[in-house]
Structure 1
């Protein structure tokens, strides 16, 4: 039973690690999307205020805004996928945790039962000795 608990503990640890990896991936994608949106907003603000320098690069800046928007959309799709994987990993981790808790509870019940049986056996042997009989003759 101890080896089953060790296996379940390792499995729960693996699922917890997988959940952590997915959570980190989601946060990285969220940060990257926020950074791209900030860059895009900066470019749009610079295009709102026409200047001689911006006038020369307007086509390039608007092209850059388009590329940023496509990248944001791509990252948003990746983030949605990562969120689903994160939710699945969390569910698997909870399931593995429940299995581990059940196995530990079962082991504790078996250990308690063995202790109770040993106590009853001891009590019977003490009672039998008090009557002058061997515990096997009862």
Structure 2
């Protein structure tokens, strides 16, 4: 019995279609050039999606027309008063214009909520507002 080798998923597109083992030589594999077929190259690996923290939308109770409450994070989220001012400027002066012609809570609500859970999002918001 021969020693088995682990299967790879990184062979060239042509060998995958033909369902044959690819030697994975680059820029063209030896198997394709040996058999005189065009090697269609390799797929670019994509990064695995990262999970985002769950975001909860705050809506007022008992209203039929859902209008999100303006989100105001806890004061302890900010490192100093200047950072808080930049956040407020982003919320009031920048976020309403980022959605463009689409009605979207992404910039004016969801991203603002996410800043409380994720420092990198908060830092990005503050950096954009500081420009």
TM-score category (smaller protein): under 0.3
Q: TM-score, normalised by structure 2?
A: 0.21
Q: TM-score, normalised by structure 1?
A: 0.20
Q: Which has the higher contact order (CA 8 A, sep 6+)?
A: 1
Report which of the two structures shows the higher radius of gyration computed on alpha carbons.
1
Q: Which has the higher helix share?
A: 1
